[in-house]
Amino acid sequence: MTSTTPSEDDARSIARAAVAERLAAGAEITGPATSVFWHLGKLGEGKEWRVTLRTSADARDRLAMRVAEMHPWDSPEVTATPVEWCLDSYAEWIERTTAAPE
């Protein structure tokens, strides 16, 4: 799952909470990147940081809700792309780390 934020601190807060709460097994923050966008009827440009969160299909919706809750924007980007293939040991780590508490 990925999201972009207006600051590195915002990205770091989301990453730390997601991993600490075991909604994601790990996170990576990259940036800044220059973003060009259409918002509120105007062309805009700014710096953004991308947070990439490694999660499972079972934890995806809980993680998406948590990211949206923590995000400083009203309509944040929260998107996901399914992984077509990975090592079994990696998939097992993701599943084990993000398993819902019993």
Q: For residue range 45-91, what is the model confidence (pLDDT) as tens digits?
A: 999 999 999 999 999 999 999 999 999 999 999 999 999 999 999 99
Q: Tell me the CA distances in angstroms from 34 to 12, 31, 48, 54, 92, one per residue in order.
A: 18, 9, 6, 24, 35
The pTM of the full predicted model, rounded to 2 decimals, is 0.93
Q: 7-30: per-residue pLDDT in tens? A: 999 999 999 999 999 999 999 999
Q: Which stretches does DSSP call E strand in the chain?
A: 2-5, 26-39, 42-54
CATH says 2-98 is which class? alpha beta
The answer on pLDDT for 101 being more than 90 is no
Residues 34-58 pLDDT 10s? 999 999 999 999 999 999 999 999 9
Asked if the model's pLDDT at residue 102 lies above 80, the reply is: no
Predicted pLDDT of residue 100: 82
